[in-house]
Amino acid sequence: MTLQRPLSLITGASSGIGAEFARQLAARGHDLVLTARRTDRLETLAGELREQHGSQVSVLPHDLADPSAPKWLHDTLEQRGLQVDWLINNAGYGVPGTFEANDWSVHADFLQVLLTAPTELAWRLLPGMRRRGHGRVVNVASLAGHVPAPAGHTLYAASKAYLIKFSQALALENQPHGVNVCALCPGFTWSEFHDVTRTRDKMDKLPGFMWLSAREVVRQGIVAVERGDAVHIPGRVNRFIKTFVQLLPDRLALWLSARESKRYRNTGI
């Protein structure tokens, strides 16, 4: 890696928003470290970015459900003499059904990937950014973290709300040192997410104006973190939803969330 090119570490880089972050940052002249579970997809993406943008791309496959993964990633980067300038904490997924419908091991893995791993990666990589006087951290949260949580996918909204508050605190702590931190909070985004959660048939019934492409979500996220926004919600519709819900009494907002969520949640109730 050359010192002139920023280096970005992207988790969950094999598809969707993570892969799009890789493409757009490579187009901006970044070198990349890509991590996810699916090695074949990472290697395919790495080849694409090397050919199209001349980026140097390191592929470090790992499952962030493994508690040792963040330290392993950090130590591997140090051994290779790589200093991370941008951290994109993107890895995530949903667990369909109600809380008691899944084994604890399923929830433990989810919490490790969605909460512990991004928190630890930030803890391990922020000191270097602060010493160098420049860095960017994007924690991919969700509009779900701003609105009442529905039944089903019980831990998803809670984990995203955590990332939002975590990002706000980190932004205040690190901006004086040249490091910007942003919670990116997309709403419905075209990706494989709903195929994995087996809700694609329900999601396809939602009107098109409620959706954004991963390309647009990432474009806005990069602009927002460069601008110094601690939280950014892409899309006017999503920002309206967040503002509208906050103006409602809590009981009414929760009732509305419960009614509307039946369109796109597999609750298992």
Contacts of 193 (CB under 8 A, 6+ apart): 16, 93, 94
Q: How far apart are CA 244 and CA 38, in angstroms?
A: 39
Residue 156 appears among annotated catalytic residues: yes
Return d(Cα 89, Cα 103) in angstroms, integer.
Answer: 26
Q: Which long-range contacts (CB under 8 A, 24 or more apart) does 44-48 make?
A: 45/13, 45/14, 45/19, 48/23
Q: What is the pLDDT along the chain (269 residues), one digit of tens a residue?
A: 445 799 999 999 999 999 999 999 999 999 999 999 999 999 999 999 999 999 999 999 999 999 999 999 999 999 999 999 999 999 999 999 999 999 999 999 999 999 999 999 999 999 999 999 999 999 999 999 999 988 888 999 999 999 999 999 999 999 999 999 999 999 998 755 544 544 545 555 555 656 799 999 999 999 999 999 999 999 999 999 999 988 988 888 888 877 777 666 655 54
Domain membership flag for residue 192: yes
Residues of the chain with pLDDT > 70: what percent? Answer: 88
Q: How distant, in Å, are the alpha carbons of 87, 139, 176, 184, 188 from that of 35? A: 12, 15, 29, 19, 24
User: In 3D, which of 163, 26, 40 has the Cα closest to residue 91?
Assistant: 163
> What's the pTM?
0.89
128 in a structural domain: yes
Structural domain includes residue 218: yes
Domain contains 269: no
Instruction: Classify residue 25 by burial, with Cβ atoms within 10 Å: 0-12, 13-18, 19+.
Output: buried
DSSP state of 112: I
Count of domains observed in the chain: 1
The residue whose two tokens read 């512990």 is: 116
Give the domain extent around 36: 7-261
Q: Is the dihedral of CA 99, 102, 104, 106 positive or negative?
A: negative
Domain presence at residue 215? yes
Q: Is residue 268 part of a domain?
A: no
* Domain-embedded: residue 179: yes
Helices (H) and strands (E) counted in the chain, each on its own, are: 11, 9
* pLDDT for the residue 1: 41
CATH number, position 104: 3.40.50.720
Residue 1 within any structural domain of the chain: no
